[in-house]
Amino acid sequence: MSDEPKKKKSGLKLFFLVALLLLVVGALGAVVYLVTKNAGQLERYNEATAAFASGDWELAEEKLAAAIEEDPNNEEIVTKLAEVNEQLDNWTEAGFLWSRAGDLNAFKSEYVDYMLDAYLRAGRMDFLRSELTKRQPLDSNRQILLAFAHAQL
């Protein structure tokens, strides 16, 4: 009779050891997946940065667009893609991206200025007016810009 409780205990220990082993193997698999995924993201980001530095705007846009799909909250990727769109004269898209950058980092007020400039260059007075009316109080330059946007509509 005394052997039966020992067998139950050893069976229970074996069960917990197997469960622990499965948990460790699963965690290790997750770590390997994340490391390889991040290595791929880093490689694509480095390719985008190299294209950006060399002035290959089309390739930089392609690589940064892929990078932003993988990491949409990366402020640096968003701002680089906005700059690339400016180089390609895609001013409306640049404005959207500068707006996104401003959402990601509210401490960089220059993103708002870049966004307003992009919408102005795109001739998107509707977006310009909408963004300016959201941002109260306005400084004198933005008040003039808002008046101009209203006059154009």
Give the tens place of pLDDT for each residue, 87-106: 999 999 999 999 999 999 98
Tell me, what's the pLDDT at 77? 94
User: Closest Cα to residue 142, out of 128, 153, 152?
Assistant: 128
Average pLDDT taken over every residue of the chain: 84
pTM of the model: 0.70
When comparing pLDDT for 71 and 13, which is higher?
A: 71
Give the rounded percent of residues in the chain with a pLDDT score beyond 90: 42
Six-digit token string for 67? 């990078």
Asked if the model's pLDDT at residue 85 lies above 90, the reply is yes
Spell out the residues 6+ positions from residue 94 whose beta carbon is closer than 8 angstroms to its own. Answer: 82, 83, 85, 86, 114, 118, 122
Q: What is the average pLDDT across 52-69?
A: 93
